[in-house]
Amino acid sequence: MLNDYFIVDGAQAPDVLGALQALHWQYASLFDGTPEKRLVEIAPLVFPVPDGEDERYKPLLKRINTIAHEEPAVHAISSPEDLEGVARHLRQFHVAKLPDDQKMILRWYDTRVFEPLLECLSQEQLASFFGPVRRWMYWDRFGTARSAEILSDEVASELEPPFELNPAQYSHLIDASVPYAVLRTLRETIPDELSRVNSSRLTRFLIDHLAVARKIGVEGHPAQVQFMLLALYTSGAFLNEPELVQWRTQPSVRVMSFLDWSDLLPDRVWQAGSPLWGEIQPLAPAIDDEHLFGGLDEYRN
């Protein structure tokens, strides 16, 4: 028999803890047994899926559904293990070892981290991570339900947690975090404007245009932020202006950094199109980018 559980990232949905406590519903913090155990208000929580036919739990289920479609913070899993067994297993992956023998908090329960993690882990690491879980669903950064591919029972792993990330895996996770570091700076720079853009639309736009930026040699955080400001203020139309066409197609003109070069662009480029927030849209919920990948802070013994 399989038991169904939700996993919710409390840093992105802090009200869920209070809702569970008000209902006297069982839950387990995945920070228990770690130095972060006192931070239960932002801890990832795992708890049994309530009975959807019971009126008492309908507001909670409605709230989780809303979070799943607005924040990259919700997973639904099935396992034969009881609540404490599932929580005990998942707590083992609170940190990961880095190639330089340091450790970092691995916020895999944030689905922006979960997807690139699945892409780079070996089969042995995946088998170790999934362990007693038999089904795993999550809602991605755009609110779309996804299923993680659980390995067959034939794939066994004798690896002991935590993960030891090799340089390629660590680089993959760092690359995946770039859009959210840029987004954090943009939210600090033009907060009122970005609050008018639907969160999913903003994220898609950001990821697509940063891919273009890197393809044409715009590297480094300040330069990528400047590139995205141009993109946001023109809905991407700036790329069709003669100056940008030249930068894109003639590498020989790149005699200075993009950041310095962009300071010389005429006002016409900034007015090439309408701002992305020009259309009235639903207010975008703010996403806490500060703690992505644990802020990539080193987690020392």
DSSP per residue over 239-252, as a string? GGSHHHHHHHH-GG
Question: Who wins on pLDDT, 299 or 199?
Answer: 199
Residue 296 has pLDDT above 50, yes or no: no
Q: In terms of domains, do 31 and 148 share one?
A: yes
Q: In terms of domains, do 14 and 148 share one?
A: yes
Q: In terms of domains, do 162 and 44 share one?
A: yes
Q: In terms of domains, do 154 and 10 share one?
A: yes
Q: Residue 97: its pLDDT value, please?
A: 92
Q: In terms of domains, do 274 and 150 share one?
A: no
Element (H, E) at 48: strand 44-48
- Residue 295 counted as domain residue: no
Alpha carbons 110 and 12: distance in angstroms, whole number? 9
Q: In terms of domains, do 100 and 241 share one?
A: no
Tokens 């069709």, located at residue: 240
Residue 297 has pLDDT above 50, yes or no: no
Residue 236 has pLDDT above 80, yes or no: yes
Q: In terms of domains, do 257 and 109 share one?
A: no
Q: Residue 78: its pLDDT value, please?
A: 97
Using alpha carbons only, give the angle 36, 41, 44 rounded to the nearest 5 degrees.
70
pLDDT tens digit sequence for 12-51: 999 999 999 999 999 999 999 999 999 999 999 999 999 9
Q: In terms of domains, do 149 and 255 share one?
A: no
Alpha carbons 78 and 15: distance in angstroms, whole number? 24
Q: Residue 285: its pLDDT value, please?
A: 41
Q: In terms of domains, do 139 and 207 share one?
A: no
Q: Residue 294: its pLDDT value, please?
A: 36
pLDDT tens digit sequence for 104-147: 999 999 999 999 999 999 999 999 999 999 999 999 988 899 99
Last residue of a domain, one of 114, 147, 166: 166
Q: State whether residue 30 is helix, strand or coil.
A: coil
Q: Residue 125: its pLDDT value, please?
A: 92
Question: pLDDT-based confidence at 198, cuts 50/70/90?
Answer: confident
DSSP code, position 41: G
Question: pLDDT-based confidence at 200, cuts 50/70/90?
Answer: confident
CA 20 to chain CA centroid, nearest Å:
24
Q: In terms of domains, do 113 and 45 share one?
A: yes
- Residue 284 counted as domain residue: no
- Residue 186 counted as domain residue: no
Question: pLDDT-based confidence at 153, cuts 50/70/90?
Answer: low
Q: Residue 252: its pLDDT value, please?
A: 80
Q: Residue 101: its pLDDT value, please?
A: 82
Q: Among residues of the chain, what percentage have pLDDT more than 90?
A: 67
Residue 158 has pLDDT above 80, yes or no: no
- Residue 23 counted as domain residue: yes
- Residue 178 counted as domain residue: no
Task: Calculate helix-pair angle for 167-189, 199-215, nearest 10 degrees.
Answer: 120
Q: In terms of domains, do 134 and 204 share one?
A: no
pLDDT tens digit sequence for 238-291: 999 999 998 888 888 787 889 999 999 999 999 999 999 985 444 434 434 333
Domain that holds residue 142: 3-166
Q: In terms of domains, do 9 and 121 share one?
A: yes
